Every structure is written in structure tokens, then in C-alpha cells.
Amino acid sequence: MSMHNYAAGSKFADKIKQMHSAETSGSQLYFVLAFLAKEKGLDDLADAMLKNAMEDSLHGGMYGAMLGKGRVDEASFWKQVVNLYRLEAGAGEPLQAMADEVRAGGEEDLARAVESTIGEELEHARRLEAVFEARGIDFSK
């Protein structure tokens, strides 16, 4: 049984919405604190925060699915995944343009921070490509 859209028929829909909000907000705060901990050289704290953030993100995903987020039928599911892939694969140029604009505005450190994400965004796309290729999913359209 899929839990997708479970909340629609549940008397606990409001509780599920609250949990979704709490988990996604909590994961965002964990990620922020992990970044700040890393800046401070608190690598052990950063690692703990990252693990907590990822788990809370997964919890938020579970509650989001219960709220009907995402697509569950096979064709729509893969279409949504491919669309997400396209965003990741196309992130390089817009992020570089943003970094260039920020740099031109005199914010070198901010520009380098934006640029530091480009490789990871493209790696997200490469990971998805590997799955698509292994499963014979056409991601070119």
C-alpha cells in the first residue's frame, strides 16, 4: 500500500501537515547550523547536524508524500524525476551568471560561495543520469 495522499482520508491530516512543517523546517535549520559549524571548524558537530538534517528531510518527504506531494503513477513519477534532473543539469549557467553579477557588484566572497555549488549541482544531474541509463529511462526529451 502506498502512503501517497494518505492524509486526504485521515482524521489526522492536520497533524500530518504539522509534522511535515516541523520536519522540513527542522531540517533546514540543521543544514544552516551544519554550515555554520563547518565554518567554525566544528567538524564533529557539522557531521552530526548533517545526519540529523538528512533524516529530518526524509521524514518531511514521508509526510509530504502523505499530503499528496510528488507523483505516484509510474509515468508521472519518472516525468517528475526527469524534470528535476533537467533543473540540476541546467543549473551551471544560471548559477555562474548569478556569481558573475554578484562579483561585478563587488561581492567576491559571495560569488565564490555561489560558484562552489555549481559542481555539486551538476553531480546531482550525473547521479540521476546514471540511474536513468541503468533503467533505460529517456531523459533527453
What tens digit of pLDDT does each residue of 2-59 get?
Answer: 899 999 989 999 999 999 999 999 999 999 999 999 999 999 999 999 999 999 999 9
**Whole-number Cα distances in Å, 65 to 27, 51, 59, 78, 82:** 17, 21, 10, 15, 18
pLDDT digits (tens, 9 = 90+) for 84-99: 999 999 999 999 999 9
Q: How far is the C-alpha of 116 from the C-alpha of 91, rounded, in Å?
A: 12
**Whole-number Cα distances in Å, 19 to 10, 34, 65, 90:** 14, 22, 12, 32
- 85-109 burial, b for 16+ CB within 10 Å, e for fewer? beebbebbeebeeebeebbeeeeee
